[in-house]
Structure 1
């Protein structure tokens, strides 16, 4: 396995693992068993996000929003990651493209996402999030 495909494997695992964290953190019945520091650890310094609405958020705003959203969903909340694929990459940086599908409150939504990762020996999967851009493919139904 080349270093670049290994980087894609680590970044892909991070995408899937972080969304599992979100489900556990947001679902009321599971939230008490989740370690929030896992999330803070993988959000790299200088992290930024463009939300599906177009709003630009810095690292602190994203961390605060996720922290404040603990236990806000019922057991029906689900996230699946689809069509994950590599974009541009170097030896220590990669862009990963994926679709995030959610079921929340009985409403489906889908977002096309692109995320920039850099290597980090202290992160669980060896990469940290540097930038995330999400665009609505399917806005939550009505």
Structure 2
């Protein structure tokens, strides 16, 4: 196990979710560089959303771009139980739970993400695949 690669990928998970909070919260969105998000979404990225939809890189980027400033100041994300999964060379799988508070409603999703190294990325890794599964669907 390469502790450095896990450390880089863990930092990326936390930092990207901080970006999401800043990008989605209306009072902070003007101060955020969207290029940071695009830079870490690797070519060929796929995402399986918690509801089962399969999204390619363009769809993920378009969705995040169009969701700018759609939340109030109460929106929050926390990352829990982050741990390494499989690793080989410059590729690692990281497992974590993403907890959200949006419009007063809590949700949680189990996530697994595949990262590869990329020296030009902010944390030295880029996202290649993300799979999210509901643990707690947002209350109605």
Structural mapping, 1:22-101, within 5 Å: 22-101=20-99
- Cα shift readout 1:77-116 (whole Å, capped 9, x = no counterpart): 0000000000000120000000000000000000000000
- Cα shift readout 1:8-33 (whole Å, capped 9, x = no counterpart): 00000000000000000000000000
5+ residue gaps, structure 1: none
Name the counterpart of 2:109: 111
Instruction: Give RMSD over aligned pairs.
Output: 0.7
Normalising by the residue count of structure 1, what TM-score does the alignment of the two structures yield? 0.98
Helix, strand or coil at the partner of 2:22: helix
Helix, strand or coil at the partner of 2:63: helix
Measured in 2, the distance between the counterparts of 1:133 and 1:90 equals 19
Q: Which runs of 4+ in 1 moved over 3 A?
A: none
Name the counterpart of 1:139: 137
5+ residue gaps, structure 2: none
Normalising by the residue count of structure 2, what TM-score does the alignment of the two structures yield? 0.99
Paired residues in the alignment total: 140
